[in-house]
Amino acid sequence: MNYKITGGKVLLRENGILKTDEKDLFIREGKISFRPFQTGEVFEGFDARGMLVMPGLVNMHTHAYMTIMRNYADDVGFSEWLFKRVMPVEDSMPREMAYWASLLACMEMIRTGTTCFVDMHMYHRQSPMAARDAGVRAFIGRGLVGEDLWEEGNNRFREALEEKAEFESETLQFVLSPHAIYTCSPNLLTQVAQKGRELSMLKQIHLSESKTELTDCLVKYGKTPVRLLWDLGFLDKKTILAHCVQMQGDDLDLIHESGASVVTNPASNAKLGNGFAPVQDMLDHRVNLCIGTDGTASNNTLNMFREMGLLSLIHKGIHKDPVALPAQTVLDAATVNAARALGMEGSLGVISEGAAADLIFIDLNEPSLFPPNNIVSSLCYSANGSEVSSVMINGKFVMRKREMLTIDREKVYAEVQKYADQYLVKA
Ligand SMILES: [Zn+2]
């Protein structure tokens, strides 16, 4: 279906600066246009009066299946969190659980204005099936661990390639996803880098998340995790680095020179006691900065509005500088910077001629946004996600006037509750 969107305030960028303008949008075959429909073109009208029409947010790092463990392992030490709570559940859960938990994640993301997410998962086929059925744009990777991609019994890489072959589409793409430098050997990381170049695929990895990861790496390899990846030829423009909390020496120079992107996860890093990424330093080094929520076991939401506000406030506080991380810098990180990291610059995260119609409609009459003195500020500092009224992805409505169109909420709740009752270990 084509749509004519009328009466809304549209968030545009002019010479890199965000501004709003009242104008009509014409959605043709999943793409945004400012060119009116001609006679004979069939379209449906959508009244956006009282709404801000803006690009959907991009959650650049999460584990969608983890919604099953929301608020399940909080206020405990990191090793209890990982080894006694999260991992036993992950190991015992049947694969189908991940489909329902990932659909729940998609529902939460849609409701809070995220139209695209980058996922690292561990249950074959479930995350791509959920993203496909929800109609959400996603970049998905099967988590990889071990010594060698090709070793007997290492089926994860085979699964990763199978998913790509089965599900790749205009809205679903696949990312090579080695878990971390402490769960993957240098040999495996080199193989992934080679495969990435061969298949022209994006890569993602958790990097320098904790002090332990950094000190262990210094002891084992005599270099920082960033330098290790640099020396292995892993870092390039198609590389997405989640966390990067512990940066040392010339780490940020190497990241900048390689063209790799960093995803900061402020809530997860704070919640797990890992600290704060040096985000201002990253910006000073002209590193492409993006934002992620991480999984719900370590956040505990997938709400990018909360993440954006938190990011700005944390860094203003740390630097004792009210000018640090201004609203537009944060919004850029959640939209255009993400597009750059995903190789979709100009066609994602922006309202412009020919860009993907991934749009969210924000009700400006919600009390949290009123009066609309400064809309860009309100998106970073006031919005809590509940103001998102309608969501369109690739030209299709997935939520309209707060009604979910692609996901059966009651069915998802029933299934997720069933697995939670059966598999979560009660404290
Ligand atoms: Zn993660």
Distance 127 CA to ligand 1 centre (A): 15
Q: Do 135 and 99 reside in the same domain of the chain? A: yes
Distance of CA 331 to the CA centre of its chain: 13
Return the CATH number at 28.
2.30.40.10
Q: Whole-angstrom distance between the N-terminal and C-terminal Cα of the chain?
A: 50
Q: Do 397 and 334 reside in the same domain of the chain? A: no
Distance 295 CA to ligand 1 centre (A): 6
Distance 179 CA to ligand 1 centre (A): 8
Domain end residue (candidates: 322, 341, 360)? 341
Q: Do 397 and 333 reside in the same domain of the chain? A: no
Question: Does residue 413 fall inside a structural domain?
Answer: no
Distance 265 CA to ligand 1 centre (A): 9
Question: Does residue 266 fall inside a structural domain?
Answer: yes
Question: Does residue 410 fall inside a structural domain?
Answer: no
Distance 39 CA to ligand 1 centre (A): 50
Q: Do 19 and 82 reside in the same domain of the chain? A: no
pLDDT of residue 229: 98
CB atoms within 10 A of CB 368: 13
pLDDT of residue 69: 93
Q: Do 44 and 112 reside in the same domain of the chain? A: no
Return the CATH number at 144.
3.20.20.140
Q: Do 30 and 73 reside in the same domain of the chain? A: no
Domain end residue (candidates: 323, 341, 359)? 341
Distance 180 CA to ligand 1 centre (A): 10
Of 198, 196, 178, the C-alpha closest to 188 is 178
Distance 118 CA to ligand 1 centre (A): 10
Contact present, 285 and 259 (Cβ < 8 Å): no
Distance 41 CA to ligand 1 centre (A): 45
Distance 232 CA to ligand 1 centre (A): 22
β-partners of residue 17 are: 14
Distance 257 CA to ligand 1 centre (A): 24
Over its length of 427 residues, how does the chain's per-residue pLDDT go in tens digits?
999 999 999 999 999 999 999 999 999 999 999 999 999 999 999 999 999 999 999 999 999 999 999 999 899 887 788 888 888 888 898 999 999 999 999 999 999 999 999 999 999 999 999 999 999 999 999 999 999 998 877 799 999 999 999 999 999 999 999 999 999 999 999 999 999 999 999 999 999 999 999 999 999 999 999 999 999 999 999 999 999 999 999 999 999 999 999 999 999 999 999 999 999 999 999 999 999 999 999 899 999 999 999 999 999 999 999 999 999 999 999 999 999 999 999 999 999 999 999 999 999 999 999 999 999 999 999 999 999 999 999 999 999 999 999 999 999 999 999 999 999 876 5
Distance 184 CA to ligand 1 centre (A): 15
Distance 289 CA to ligand 1 centre (A): 16
Distance 63 CA to ligand 1 centre (A): 6
Distance 296 CA to ligand 1 centre (A): 10
Tokens encoding 210: 């904790």
Q: What pTM does this model have?
A: 0.98
Question: Does residue 427 fall inside a structural domain?
Answer: no
Q: Do 138 and 24 reside in the same domain of the chain? A: no
Question: Does residue 329 fall inside a structural domain?
Answer: yes
What is the count of structural domains for the chain? 2
Distance 242 CA to ligand 1 centre (A): 7
Q: Do 51 and 100 reside in the same domain of the chain? A: no
Question: Does residue 300 fall inside a structural domain?
Answer: yes
250 three-state secondary structure: coil
Question: Does residue 45 fall inside a structural domain?
Answer: yes
Range of the domain at 363: 3-55+349-404
Contact present, 311 and 330 (Cβ < 8 Å): yes
Q: How far apart are CA 61 and CA 81, in angstroms?
A: 19
Distance 33 CA to ligand 1 centre (A): 36
Question: Does residue 199 fall inside a structural domain?
Answer: yes
Q: Do 35 and 7 reside in the same domain of the chain? A: yes
Q: Do 368 and 399 reside in the same domain of the chain? A: yes
Q: Do 267 and 363 reside in the same domain of the chain? A: no
Distance 64 CA to ligand 1 centre (A): 10
Domain end residue (candidates: 308, 341, 374)? 341
CA distances from 400 to 95, 352, 359, 365, 411 (A): 31, 22, 12, 17, 19
Q: Do 91 and 46 reside in the same domain of the chain? A: no
